[in-house]
Amino acid sequence: MAKETQFVEQIADINADFPQWYTDVVLKTKMVDYGPVKGTMVIRPYGYAVWENIQKELNERFQRKGIQNAYFPLLIPMSYFTKEAEHVEGFAPEVAVVTHAGGEELSEPLAIRPTSETIIGTMMSKWVQSYRDLPLKVNQWCNVMRWEKTTRPFLRTSEFLWHEGHTAHSTEQEAEEFALTMLGVYQEFMENCLAIPVLTGRKTEKERFAGAVATYTMEAMMRDGKSLQSGTSHYLGQNFAKAFNIEFQNNEGELQPAYTTSFGVSTRLIGAIIMTHGDERGLVFPPVIAPIQCVIVPIAARKGGVIEKCEELKTELEKAGIRVTLDVSDNSPGWKFNEWEMKGVPVRIELGPRDIEAGKMLCARRDTLEKTEMPLENPAVIVKELLATMQKDMLESARKRRDGRIVYADDMQGILQGVENGNFVKAGWCGCRACEDKIKEETAATARVFAEGESAEKCAVCGEKAKHVIVYARAY
Amino acid sequence: MAKETQFVEQIADINADFPQWYTDVVLKTKMVDYGPVKGTMVIRPYGYAVWENIQKELNERFQRKGIQNAYFPLLIPMSYFTKEAEHVEGFAPEVAVVTHAGGEELSEPLAIRPTSETIIGTMMSKWVQSYRDLPLKVNQWCNVMRWEKTTRPFLRTSEFLWHEGHTAHSTEQEAEEFALTMLGVYQEFMENCLAIPVLTGRKTEKERFAGAVATYTMEAMMRDGKSLQSGTSHYLGQNFAKAFNIEFQNNEGELQPAYTTSFGVSTRLIGAIIMTHGDERGLVFPPVIAPIQCVIVPIAARKGGVIEKCEELKTELEKAGIRVTLDVSDNSPGWKFNEWEMKGVPVRIELGPRDIEAGKMLCARRDTLEKTEMPLENPAVIVKELLATMQKDMLESARKRRDGRIVYADDMQGILQGVENGNFVKAGWCGCRACEDKIKEETAATARVFAEGESAEKCAVCGEKAKHVIVYARAY
């Protein structure tokens, strides 16, 4: 029994020390490792498979919106950043700079892209001449670099992987609508693929993207009540179009700057999955993006016919498109249960001589830990149904958990208490920067997103008339 | 008519000026554009789609060989390169170096990876303890940077995209065999997916990868008779294992260094496709990796029912998994024919009122330019068959073309004449470096690959007894 519980003991208690639990889980399940350079990570196969599933799901959605994948250069002349005033202020402090190459000093230092508005804007200005060239919708999957002081695997690293979509439009309305369309695409993806409910809406001026007119965000609540900004979509107005000369001839024959947007999600989402669904036993993957959806554990594997039947079952599930593995290692069944639970595999099938004789299999759900005896007939149908149910249930359970932790506050004390108890706190705001700053200073919470459509009497800080309701939370 | 021929006129004559033809074709078909930093490229959607198809095909093959995708950091401490003596000598002159980040000078300069043996070796040394951890097989799809003096889109650029596979094994035999297995995987992929025949085999010591024991290469002949090194697989022996402490406990309980391999292909392959199959009208894509496999051009599109029938046809082909587009632009049919021919779409279907009435469609093959009338029944079956035939024919035709341009030579004059006429030249070699150097000096041709299994009387340079037969060619 000592051996069987060993895995569980290796992970810190999720309720007592959430940060340590996170570190334990990501390292011990071999999702990630630390890279040799400060703040970098190595995404190991078990983590990278999640990223590949995310890419597949998002690519399908992008294609339906007419977005085409492309690839833009990693290195951007430093001078490009200075063309958009807010943008350079926002990113210059985090940039990594190449000064030497090919054995010589460069005449102009080059930035490793922290984001690509500047270089994509430059290219768009070459490609866009007439309104017929619009809308132009491109996306790239790539690495970006932002030199961060404090880092944690997936959540905040100097280098990370992401996608960045960039579009140019002929009218303000079309561009702004498209930024919101992409926010909607993200939300649907978060809920249906990652089983993560998100609050969506506009960011305050203080929190918005450097150079944007409006930033729309998705905020997800982690197990500890903190918020994780999971993706953003920016309406950039004509800011970048003017800075980079993205001009087109409109249908009256006049030259005018285009309206642009950009939007992105990153490997951070892997952290969001872990911190939304994980439990005391380790990872819990939503079936749609699980690297392995089903593991078959043979019981009394040496008995004649057991392994053969397990192989048969595996082949049948595989044929149905289920990502399945069969654990034929020498470890005990109990050890295997713990290991695959820690790795968050949605469905475990236990199959032994008695099950086979009775024409049954035991199916265990990772989220609820329920075990159900099922007939061995049409196993693919059974497993697919179980995966679909689990996918839906995981979203509902995450939503309930989150909704139970959204509270209202009237004053600073209420906000402080709310976030200390691990809640999202809704409170009135007069709209002034000073009040927003003060909340951050005194509660370490930030304005995550406007609670659009809601209203409050007065600002929780200054007591003046409230213009908006804001969702405050501490954040990753 | 002037309008209809305009596209053709825009491309340089492939026979008169092949380099200009190449540049015209890649730019005008919107596969690629020049990036703002010297030697960089922007891969536009029409080029990137080819890369995505290459990735899909190779990923399936890697998976079957037990190789798992992962991601390793972009930045590598400069000191890592010095750990393997030959490796640093080979790559140091081409490296781009980050010296500043986050507003400060770094304590140690960081290299942007030119290749990742050093950082992956470092991680493998953490992950490998026992023979049970072996073989370890990882791959990453990523960008790499090599500062090049002369660059051309896809063929040689400062930054390019590639995959790099890295494996560690417990025995010499297993590792060397695996390097050859991957060469075989590449060859099958080149022939069946890209329709490019390749000569495969070992490189000379002079031409092998910096740090390898043996480099195996695939050499493809371009339209101008020059060779393009299309991919390499390296047996690294214990060189990197010793430099980076990839040590494991063997089954006798002793610690020993592992044996490693690495292998890669890059966006260069897109250049190989273009320069193998292209013709005076532009690109010709092998169906398996064509971004668009079939284009439908409506004839007399304004006549009732034509567009509807085209839409119907498109839906049916799409359902069958064919990558199809319907050109409903205002251009004339002739203009469209030229445009889609330049873009290399394998099959064009022309559909007008008379065809519809007769229950026929006109199918044009891009490679042979043949047009055939086909029934409108089961169009997906017809198009799929045509694509499959074309795929096979393109390989055969490329193979014939290449085989007709492999000649033998006995002396330096013969080699020079052979390569000047755009041939691969086979000639005897004594095995000494001086003779190899002399050939390069006098003919601008290099030893591309050993012609294994062949023999010759004497070295074409010094006249001494030949130990090997070498394939010489000028190369990209």
Q: What is the pLDDT of residues A59-92, one digit of tens each?
A: 999 999 999 999 999 999 999 988 888 888 888 8
Q: Which of B54, B74, B166, B270 to mutate to test the interface with A (most CBs of A within 10 A)?
A: B74
Q: Nearest 5°: phi and psi at B210? A: -65, 105
Question: What is chain B's pLDDT, residue by residue, as a tens digit (476 residues)?
Answer: 344 444 445 899 999 999 999 999 999 999 999 999 989 999 999 999 999 999 999 999 999 999 999 999 999 999 998 888 888 888 888 999 999 999 999 999 999 999 999 999 999 999 999 999 999 999 999 999 999 889 999 999 999 999 999 999 999 999 999 999 999 999 999 999 999 999 999 999 999 999 999 999 999 999 999 999 999 999 999 999 999 999 999 989 999 999 999 999 999 999 999 999 999 999 999 999 999 999 999 999 888 899 999 999 999 999 999 999 999 999 999 999 999 999 999 999 999 999 999 999 999 999 999 999 999 999 999 999 999 999 999 999 999 999 999 999 999 999 999 999 999 999 999 999 999 999 999 999 999 999 999 999 999 999 999 999 999 999 99
Residues 373-392, chain A, touching B (beta carbon < 8 A): none
Cα B291 to Cα B295: distance, rounded to the nearest angstrom: 11
Is B112 within 8 Å of A74 when comparing Cβ atoms?
yes
Residue of A nearest to B98 (CA): A98
Residues A73 and A119: beta-carbon distance below 8 Å: yes
Residue B109 phi, psi dihedral angles, 5° rounding: -65, 150
Kindly determine whether residue B75 and residue A159, on different chains, have CB atoms separated by under 8 Å: yes
What is the rounded end-to-end Cα distance, in angstroms, of chain A?
38
Q: Which two three-digit tokens encode residue B445?
A: 């041709």
Distance between CA A218 and CA B297 in Å, rounded?
A: 43
- CB nearest to A147's CB, from B44, B71, B102: B102
Amino acid (one-letter) located at B469: V
Cis before A36 (ω within 30): no
Can you name the residues that pair with A350 across neighbouring β-strands? Answer: A297, A362
**CA gap B346, B336 in Å, rounded:** 14
Do the bridges between strand B347-351 and strand B294-298 make them parallel or antiparallel, or are there none, so unpaired?
A: parallel
User: Given A33, A119, A148, which is nearest B36 (Cβ)?
Assistant: A119
A331 vs B: CB within 8 A? no
Cβ neighbours of A96 in B, within 8 Å: 75, 98, 100-102, 110
Beta bridge partners of residue A105, listed in sequence order: A100
Give this complex's ipTM. Answer: 0.96
Are A73 and B37 inside 8 Å of each other by CB?
A: yes
The DSSP-derived string for A98-156 is: EEEETTEEEEEEEEEPS--HHHHHHHHHHH--BGGG-SEEEEEEEEEE---SS-BTTTB
CA distance B440 to B70: 39
Count CB neighbours of B301 within 10 A.
Answer: 17
- Calculate the dihedral angle through the C-alpha atoms of B340, B344, B345, B350, rounding to the nearest 10 degrees: 40
Could you tell me which residues are beta bridge partners of residue A168?
A136, A260
DSSP per residue, B257-282: E-EEEEEEEETHHHHHHHHHH-BTTB
Per CB-CB distance under 8 Å, the chain B contacts of A149 are 102
B96 in contact with A, Cβ within 8 Å? yes
DSSP 8-state class, residue A432: -
Rounding to the nearest 10 degrees, give the CA dihedral for residues A434, A435, A440, A443: 140
Q: Which amino acid is at A270?
A: I
* E-state strands within B117-270: 136-145, 159-169, 199-202, 214-221, 227-237, 247-249, 255-257, 259-266
Six-digit token pair at A224?
Answer: 């500890």
Q: What pLDDT shows up at residue B5? A: 46
* Closest partner CB to A123 (pick from B37, B42, B143): B42
Other beta carbons within 10 Å of A46: 19
d(CA A185, CA A192): 11
Contact assignment for A142 to B147 by CB distance below 8 Å:
no
In A113-132, the residues whose Cβ lies within 8 Å of chain B are 119, 122-123, 126-127
- B412 in Cβ contact with B460 (< 8 Å): yes
Shortest distance between the Cα of A95 and any Cα of chain B, in A, equals 6
CA–CA dist B302, B352 (Å, integer): 10
**Segments in A11-116 forming alpha helices (H):** 18-28, 45-64, 78-81, 85-91
**What's the burial of B354, exposed, middle or buried (CB within 10 Å: 0-12/13-18/19+)?**
exposed
Searching chain A, which residue's CA lies closest to the CA of residue B267? A71
Cβ distance of B41 and A102 shorter than 8 Å: no
Q: Do B122 and A36 touch (CB under 8 A)?
A: yes
Give the pLDDT score at A84.
85
Residue B13: DSSP 8-state: P
Nearest-neighbour CA in chain A from B358: distance (Å): 35
Tokens of A221: 């609540």
| A99 touching B (Cβ < 8 Å) | yes
> Does residue A200 register a pLDDT over 60?
yes
In a mutational test of the B interface, the residue from A27, A28, A72 whose CB has the highest number of chain B CBs within 10 Å is A72
Contacts of B51 in chain A (CB under 8 A): 71
8 Å CB contact between A81 and A91: yes
What are the backbone dihedrals phi and psi of residue B194, each rounded to the nearest 5 degrees, phi first?
Answer: -95, -5
Interface residue of B38, B50, B80, B97 to substitute, partner A, most A CBs within 10 Å:
B97
Residue B318: its H or E element: helix B306-319
- The minimal CB distance from B73 to the residues A42, A44, A45 is found for A42
